[in-house]
Structure formats: C-alpha cells, structure tokens
Structure 1
C-alpha cells in the first residue's frame, strides 16, 4: 500500500510512525506533504527514506490512500489550491475534526471517503479512534483502514456519522480535560506545601492506579467512589465541595460545548 499524508503535523506524523513501526507500509511508499516549509528539513531527517514535499510542489499523488491531517480551518484553502486530481481508485481518510463526509466529497469531487477522529495518545500507540465511512466503501477497504487505525491504539466503527462530533468532544478533546484536572490537583499539592515534583509523582501515579482499578474491577464508578469515600472522612469533604459547586455539571457542559464547536467547524 502507498500512503500520502496531507498535513505533516503532530497527528499526521504520529500516524506515519505507527504505520512504519508495525511495518504496515514501507518507508519508500510513504509520502508526507507539509504546508509548513520551516519543518521540511526536520521531517526529512526523521523520515529520510520517505518522500517529503511541500504543498506547492505536488501536482500528482501516487498513493492508494490519502490521509487528510490538516486543521479543519485550513481544509477549504487546501481544496481550492491543490493542483492534483483524485484518481477513481484512491481512498481518502480524513482525521479533521468536524468536517463531514459530504463536504469532503464535494470539495475534493471524490466519493470514496472515510472519516475518523483519533486523539493525542496515538503518539504512544494508545489512542482511541472513532470512524465512519461514505456509502460505496467496501468491507475489505474498511478492514484495511481499521488495520492502520489499530496501529495507533484502538478503533471503533460508527454507523451514524453524527456521533463523530460527540467522539470529538469526548475522546478527541478528552486528554486535555484530564490534564486540566491533574494540573489542578498538582497545584493543590503545592499549595499544601508538597514539593512540585513530589506532587506530580503522587497525582500521576494516583491517576494511573485509578485507571487500572476502573479497568480491572467489576464495580461501577459509584461503587469505586464509595470505596474511597468513607463517611465523615477526607474524601467525602472534597466530594461535598465538588457537588456544592456542580463540578460534574460544569464538566458535562464543557464537553457539550466542545461537541457544538465540532458541529460549527463543518461550516
């Protein structure tokens, strides 16, 4: 398989590294296309055996799969300024937030589109990606796409494309929510007199341990909370403050706003 990636940013490059790591593609069959000329030499060093181009150098793309990894705000410019024609047998995989399949098909004048929403832990091969496809994409083509997506972590096929805006808000943006909470916890530790590095260690290891308990326990989240929050204890005091300030509703409201923004990106 030959793959071209339009937009050699963090996500495009993390996909490339995963494909090469698991030998799903040969380096010489990977074509990275960047709009940012300042990153050209840096990308060339890391992917020395692959083809590297800037957008204005490309008149034709020799690839079975074209991955669109540009920012959604840049897609209109890309579609209006690219000088190549899509070939009938080429597949398009979009990892842009918010841009619907119908709009991609219209702007590229090409029907064979799969749309996916990965998240940043794909950098470590621990991502989660929701994806869906246009009508006419065959089962075997989807299996090939899923194989590529699974090299970056896990993937879930969704029949309803509208759910991808929710996936964008939940898992696409989700890592930032955890970083936000972890940052608040670390700062609370510092305020209590704990050294910053020690506070980081306590919070990060707590987060890791809590994840494994969720993953390996048959108990519900409510039951796990009760296991920690003994009556009249310290955890109960913290949870009381969270509840009084509607923290859970604030978090839910923020995630729903992220979904609304994903819908707006389609324009």
Structure 2
C-alpha cells in the first residue's frame, strides 16, 4: 500500500510513525505533504526514506490512500488548490474534526471517503479513533483502514456519522479536559505548600492508578467513589464542594459546547 498524508502536522506524523513501526507500509511508500516549507528539513530528518513535498509542488499523487490531516478551517482552500487529480480507485481518509463526508466528497468530487476522529494519545499508540464511511466503500477496504487505525491504539466503527461530532467532543478533545483537571490538582498541591514537582508526581501517579482501578474493577464509578469517600472524611468534603459548585454540570456543558463547535466547522 502507498500512503500520502496531506498535512504533515502532529497527528499526520504520529499516524506515519505508527504505520512504519508496525510495518504496515514501507518507508519509501510514504509520501508526506506539508504547506509549510520551513518544516521540510525536520520532517526529512524524522523520515529519511520517505518522500517529502510542499503542497504546491505536488502535480500528481501516486497513492492508494490519501489521509487528509489539515485544519478543518483550511480544508476548503486546500481542496480548491489541488494541483493534481484524484484517481478513481484512490481512497480518502479524513481525520479533520467536523467536516462531514458529503462536504469532502463535494469539494474533492470524489466518492471514496472514510471519516475518522482520532485523539492525541495516538502519539503513544494509546489513542482511540471513531470512524465511519461513505457508501460504496467495500468491506476489505474498511478492514485495511481499520488495521491502520488500530496501529495507533483502538478504533470503533460507527454506522451513524452524526455521532462523530460527539466522539470529537468526548475523546478527540477529551485529553485536554484531563490535563486541565490535573493542572488544577497540581496547583492546589502547591497552594498547600507541596513542591510543584512533588505535587505533579502525586497527581500523575494518582491519575494513573485511578485509571487502572476503573479498568480492572467490577465496580461502577459510583461504587469506586464511595470506596474513597468515607462518611465525614476529607474526600466527602471535596465532593460536597464540587456538587455545590455544579462541577459535573460545568464539565458536561463544556463537552456539549465542543460538540456544537464540531458541527459548526462543517460550515
């Protein structure tokens, strides 16, 4: 398989590294395309055996799969300035937030589109990607796409494309929510007089341990909370404050706003 990645930013490059790590493609069959000429040298250092190009210089694209990883706000301009024509059998995999399959098909005048929403832990091979496809994509083609996506973590196929905006808000943006909470916890630690690095260690290890408990326990989240929150204790005092300040509602409202923004990106 030959793969071209249009938009060699963080996500595009993390996908590339996963594909090469698991030997799903050969380095010489990877074509990385950037619009930023200043990035060429650095990308070439990371991928010395792959083809690296500036977008405006690509007159013909020899690839079985073209992964579009540009910012959704830039897609219309990019699509209108292709210097090459898509071939009938080329597959498109979009990892742009919000841009629906129909819009991609219309702007590219091309039917074979799969739309996916990964998240940043793909950098470590621990991401999760929701994806869906246009009609006319064969089962074998989807299996090939799934193999590629699974090299970055896990993937889930969704029959209903509308759910991808929710996936974008929940898992695509989700890592930032955890970083935000971790940052607040670390800062609370420093206010209590704990050295910042030590506070960071306590919070990060707590987050890691809590994840493993969720993943390995038969108990639901409410039961796990109650295991920590003894009556009249310190955890209960914190949880009461969260409830009084509607923290859960604030978090849910933020996630729903992320979904709303994803829908707006389609234009």
**TM-score between the two structures when normalised by the length of structure 2:** 1.00
* 1:155-201 deviation per Cα after TM superposition (whole angstroms, max 9, x unaligned): 00000000000000000000000000000000000000000000000
Q: What is aligned with 1:181?
A: 181
Once residues 83 and 162 of structure 2 are traced to their aligned partners in structure 1, the CA distance between those partners, rounded to angstroms, is 31
- Cα RMSD between the aligned structures? 0.3
In structure 1, what is the equivalent of residue 227 of structure 2?
227
Alpha-carbon distance between aligned partners in 1 of 2:78 and 2:166, rounded to the nearest angstrom: 25
Matches within 5 A, 1:101-180: 101-180=101-180
User: Which residue number in structure 1 is paired with residue 66 of structure 2?
Assistant: 66
Q: 1:50-85, CA deviations, whole angstroms, 9 ceiling, x for partnerless residues? A: 000000110110000000000001101101111111
Gaps of 5+ in 1: none
SS at match of 2:116: strand
Offset at 1:124?
Answer: 0.3
Residue in structure 2 matched with residue 25 of structure 1 by the alignment: 25
Task: Give the structure 2 partner of residue 243 of structure 1.
Answer: 243
- Aligned mates of 1:165, 1:53 — CA distance in 2: 31
Show structure 2 runs of 5+ residues with no match: none
What are the within-5 Å matches in structure 2 for residues 75-86 of structure 1? 75-86=75-86
- Alignment match, 1:264: 264
